[in-house]
Amino acid sequence: MAIGKRLKQAHAAVDKNKVYTAEEAIALIKSLAKAKFDETIEVSMNLGVDPKKADQNLRGVVQLPNGTGKTYRVAVFARGAKAEEAKAAGADIVGAEDLMEMVQAGNMPFDRCIATPDMMGIVGRVGKILGPRSLMPNPKLGTVTMDVAEAVKAVKGGQVEYRAEKAGIVHCGFGKASFTADALLENLKVFVDTIQKARPAGVKGTYVRKLSMSSTQGPGVTFTMGA
């Protein structure tokens, strides 16, 4: 009952007919994040793209300057010196056939997966398992690389992967309610700017149709980044 009352009060605090500035939205969302845990603050961008069309299938990565507040567990498919580099960079799990067997057994205690190019033959054997979970290493996302140390550090340092869903919506958790408003705004600007610059050439008409923001257990707030 207490949670229901709190959510009702939070929704009542939001003017559904108003388009807030990014600064106003962040301040409001932070003030309404009253859960007993540190809520994630997420932005949703409703884009004028059709992901079914190959030239509009928006996907990539962006490095948030202040991180996400989440600790990512990273697995790396590598051997020899590259395996050692990955471990030194902070990878949580490093292996080759043994890592493949873990995945085959359904044991995947990691959030991101990186591989050196020579490991893709092994990784391909578990592609049907990793793919649906958005864990398959991909050269375009920088997760198939010889520079495994840099890739691990990027993920640990706040790199976020984004992808347009069927309805053309892109989501991103860009920080925690405990972040300062300035840190959240800086992360938000970098993410939105990245998506705007990634506009597919085939998109006609309005590209960014709507921006909204919410916390894990809070209401959504419509906002604009301004000029």
pLDDT of 50 strictly over 80: yes
Q: What is the pLDDT of residues 97-110, one digit of tens each?
A: 999 999 999 999 99
What single-letter DSSP state applies at residue 175? E
Question: For residue 14, what pLDDT is reported?
Answer: 84
Place 7 in a pLDDT band, splitting at 50, 70 and 90: low
Say how far apart CA 143 and CA 149 lie, in whole Å. Answer: 11
State the amino acid at position 219 in one-letter form: P
pLDDT of 196 strictly over 60: yes
Which of 94-98, 140-144, 163-167, 206-210 shows the lowest per-residue confidence on average (mean pLDDT)?
Answer: 163-167
Q: Which two tokens stand for residue 15?
A: 């003017």
CA angle 167, 64, 75 (to 5 degrees): 85
Q: What is the mean pLDDT of residues 148-173?
A: 92
Question: For residue 175, what pLDDT is reported?
Answer: 96
Domain residue ranges in the chain: 18-68+159-224, 74-156
pLDDT of 197 strictly over 80: yes
Place 1 in a pLDDT band, splitting at 50, 70 and 90: very low
Say how far apart CA 200 and CA 168 lie, in whole Å. Answer: 12
pLDDT of 25 strictly over 60: yes
Which of 98-112, 151-165, 177-191 shows the lowest per-residue confidence on average (mean pLDDT)?
Answer: 151-165
Q: Specify whether the CB–CB gap between 45 and 192 falls below 8 A.
A: yes
Q: How many residues does the chain have?
A: 227
Q: What is the mean pLDDT of residues 4-28?
A: 84
The set of residues, in sequence order, having a beta carbon less than 8 Å from that of 69 and lying 6+ positions away, is 38, 40, 175, 176, 178, 179
Q: What is the mean pLDDT of residues 28-37?
A: 92
CATH topology (fold) of 74-156 = Rossmann fold (3.40.50)
pLDDT of 115 strictly over 90: yes
Q: What is the mean pLDDT of residues 26-37?
A: 93
Average pLDDT for the chain: 92
Instruction: Please provide the CATH number assigned to the domain covering 18-68+159-224.
Output: 3.30.190.20
SS3 content of the chain, % helix, strand, coil (to 5): 40, 25, 40
Question: For residue 6, what pLDDT is reported?
Answer: 67
User: Model pTM?
Assistant: 0.84
More confident residue, 179 or 165: 179
CA angle 115, 142, 163 (to 5 degrees): 115
No. of helices (H) and no. of strands (E), the chain: 8, 10
